[in-house]
């Protein structure tokens, strides 16, 4: 690959810790960012899906960039995620994020509007024109309703600022095809596929489970870089039940907050409506999966104390998120 990687390799799709009332808990934000960087993350994606971007206000999004930049103190790249399904609003957000100190932007395919591929390409190009920051295109048709097609990815790759794709489609043959045809960097956007993606040439991952355990992802990435498949596979296998706990029963941010709160690493597991905490049966399944986790560096589950009552329901914050 001729392009240098300006984003890092172990990127955490950061949760946004809230108080029990649903307001951003800025002390917890700082503590959590410092914790994941100290455990091996070299990139932080704030205000992405896992950060509950759709229910954050614009000022909260910008402040998250500022706080992350300050806490990281150069130890990790700060990428701003989310964006908007309105191109003009997305441009405003990314320009403000650049001023706030972001090192890169992750642009999600416009959701709900269902634009044609020409509209998708225009959205990416206009945002990439509006900022000097390197761009990751985020391809997640399960959330946006539309994919970024192979042809669109190839055309977008010609833009000098569009350097990467976060892939949550899981079409490995297409990943290989794009890696052959372009010099785009690829990031796995599916925690269970991080190693398979990297084994065919992806640069790293943007992971939810890395909120809970960044260290084994660091081991995996370093092993891949060194050509040590056995060590990378061992990390992948150790992570498997934790990934299942975090990613299969409720939305990733809900499970991650439930687990982090049970470990005493955030003060509240609260999410903002329409997300709600796990119901009893869902919480029980998460806890059953966690009982299978062992041998993960930096993760001691002997002190796991889940609190289903604290997680129940969802919060209505005082100020509605910016949805124009």
Q: What is the pLDDT of residues 17-55, one digit of tens each?
A: 999 999 999 999 999 999 999 999 999 999 999 999 999
Decide the pairing of beta strands 204-207 and 10-13: parallel
Catalytic residues: 138, 166
| Entry pTM | 0.97
Give me the phi and psi of 164, to 5 degrees please: -155, 165
CA distance 90 to 87: 5
pLDDT in the model for residue 2: 45
Query: Quick one: 244 exposed, middle or buried, by C-beta within 10 A (0-12, 13-18, 19+)?
Result: buried
Residue given tokens 């990467």 in the structure block? 164
Cβ(211)–Cβ(50) below 8 Å: yes
Residue given tokens 């320009």 in the structure block? 95
pLDDT-derived band at 82, boundaries 50, 70, 90: confident
Instruction: Estimate the crossing angle of helix 26-38 against helix 58-72, to 10 degrees.
Output: 40
pLDDT-derived band at 5, boundaries 50, 70, 90: very high
H-type alpha helices, 101-171: 117-130, 141-144, 150-156
């Amino acid at each position: 690959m001729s392009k240098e990687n300006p984003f890092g390799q172990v990127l955490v799709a950061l949760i946004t810790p809230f108080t029990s009332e649903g307001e951003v808990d800025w002390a917890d934000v700082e503590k959590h960012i410092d914790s994941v960087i100290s455990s091996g993350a070299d990139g932080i994606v704030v205000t992405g899906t896992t950060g509950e971007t759709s229910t954050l206000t614009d000022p909260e999004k910008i402040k998250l960039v500022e706080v992350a930049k300050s806490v990281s103190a150069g130890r990790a790249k700060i990428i701003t995620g989310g964006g908007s399904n309105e191109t003009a609003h997305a441009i405003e957000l990314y320009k403000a994020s650049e001023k706030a100190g972001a090192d890169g932007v992750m642009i999600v395919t416009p959701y709900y509007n269902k634009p044609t591929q020409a509209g998708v390409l225009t959205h990416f190009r206009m945002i990439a024109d509006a900022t000097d920051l390197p761009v990751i295109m985020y391809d997640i048709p399960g959330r946006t309703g539309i994919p970024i097609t192979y042809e669109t990815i190839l055309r977008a790759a010609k833009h000098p600022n569009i350097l990467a794709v976060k892939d949550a489609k899981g079409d490995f043959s297409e990943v290989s095809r794009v890696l052959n045809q372009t010099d785009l960097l690829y990031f796995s956007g599916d925690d269970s596929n991080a190693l398979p993606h990297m084994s065919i040439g992806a640069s790293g991952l943007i992971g939810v489970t890395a909120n809970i355990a960044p260290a084994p992802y660091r081991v995996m990435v370093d092993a891949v870089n060194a050509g040590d498949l056995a060590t990378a596979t061992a990390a992948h296998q150790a992570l498997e039940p934790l990934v299942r706990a975090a990613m299969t029963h409720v939305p990733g941010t809900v499970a991650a907050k439930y687990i982090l709160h049970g470990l005493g690493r955030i003060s509240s597991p609260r999410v903002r409506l329409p997300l709600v905490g796990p119901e009893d049966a869902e919480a029980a399944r998460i806890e059953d999966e966690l009982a299978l986790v062992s041998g993960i560096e930096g993760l001691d589950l002997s002190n796991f104390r889940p609190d289903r009552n604290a997680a129940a329901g969802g919060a209505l914050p005082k100020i509605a998120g910016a949805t124009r």
